[in-house]
Amino acid sequence: MAGEAAIINAAARTSLWLQPHRIVLILIALGLVLAAAFFMRWDWLPQYYAAGLLGIWRALWILAVTCVLGFLLAVPLGLAQAAGPFWFAAPAKVFCTIIRGTPLLLQLWLLYYGLGSLFPQYPWIRESWMWPYLRQAWPYGVLALTLSFAGYEGEVMRGAFAGVPKGQIEAARAFGMSRWKAFRRIWLPQAFYRALPTLTGETVLQLKSTPLVATISVIDIFAVSSKVRQDTYLTYEPLLLLALIYMAITGILVFAFGRIEARIPNKIG
C-alpha cells in the first residue's frame, strides 16, 4: 500500500512539474544542446580525454583534502572565538578577518610567488627533505585553499558553537563527563549539525575556487581546458564543457550533502 501511494505521489509530482511551457522549454534546451553538438567542433575530445579525467580527479582531490584539513583547522578557530579567553580569541578573529578580507587569488599568489621566492635563498631549506615538495606548485595551492576554507568555516563554526544551548553542555558536565568528553560527545556533534547546511554552501564555494590553482601551474581540469584552447584555437567548446563538468560536480555535491543532512536527528535546540 505504502509503495503504491508513493508511486502515485511521485506521478502526481511529475505531472505537476511537467507543465506545457516546461516541455517547450526543455525541447528548446535540447535543440540548443543538439545544435552545439553538431555545429561546434568536438573532434579534439578523444585526444584530451585522459588528461581531462586526470584533471577532474586532481580538482576533486584538492577539493577533498583542503575541505577536510580546512575543517579540522576551523574547529579550533571557531572554538577559540566562541569560548576562548581574549588572548586566544583575538588572533583567531584577526586570522578570519584577514582571510575573508582579501581575495583568494591574491593569497594564492602571495604564498606561491612571495613565500616561494623566499625559500631558495636559504641553503638549509634547499638541503632539507622538504625541498622536493616546496619546489612544486601544488603544496602552495593546497595550503592557500586550506587556509581560506578554514577562515570562512571558522566564522561559521563560531556561530555554530555559540548556538548550542548552554544547558546541553551543563547537563553533560552534570553527568560527570570530563570537559573533553563533553566537547567530543555533545558540543562538537551539535555544532556540526548546525553548521552542516552552511558547510554544503562553503564546499560548493570551495569547488568553485579550485580552478584558481591553475594560475600557479597546477594542472587541474581548468588548466586542461586552457591547454585545449591554446592548442586548437577554439574559444567556446572547452569552456562550455568545463562549465558543464563543474555543474555536474556541484549537483553531485549538493545531492550528497542532502543525503547526509537527511540522516542527522533534526530536533536540536
Residue 222 interacts with other proteins (CB under 8 A)? yes
Residue whose CB is less far from other proteins, 97 or 136:
97
Tell me, letter by letter, the H, E, C secondary structure of 163-181.
HCCHHHHHHHHHCCCCHHH
Report the alpha-carbon distance of residue 140 to residue 145 in Å, rounded. Answer: 8
Residue 60 interacts with other proteins (CB under 8 A)? no
**Residues 247-266 as x/- pattern, contact with other proteins by CB under 8 A:** x--xx---------------
Report the alpha-carbon distance of residue 37 to residue 246 in Å, rounded. Answer: 19
Report the alpha-carbon distance of residue 78 to residue 183 in Å, rounded. Answer: 13
Contact between 250 and 240 (Cβ < 8 Å): no
Residue 230 interacts with other proteins (CB under 8 A)? no
Enter the C-alpha cell of residue 256. Answer: 550528497
Residue 105 interacts with other proteins (CB under 8 A)? yes
End-to-end CA distance of the chain: 36
Name the minimum Å distance from CB 47 to other proteins.
Answer: 21
DSSP at 119: G
Among 73, 156, 209, 216, binds other proteins (CB under 8 A): 209
Residue 22 interacts with other proteins (CB under 8 A)? yes
Report the alpha-carbon distance of residue 247 to residue 244 in Å, rounded. Answer: 5
Among 36, 240, 257, 261, binds other proteins (CB under 8 A): 240
Residue whose CB is less far from other proteins, 143 or 239:
239
Q: Which residues bind other proteins (CB under 8 A)?
A: 19, 21-22, 25, 97-98, 100-107, 109-110, 113-118, 204, 207-212, 215, 222, 235-236, 239-240, 242-243, 246-247, 250-251
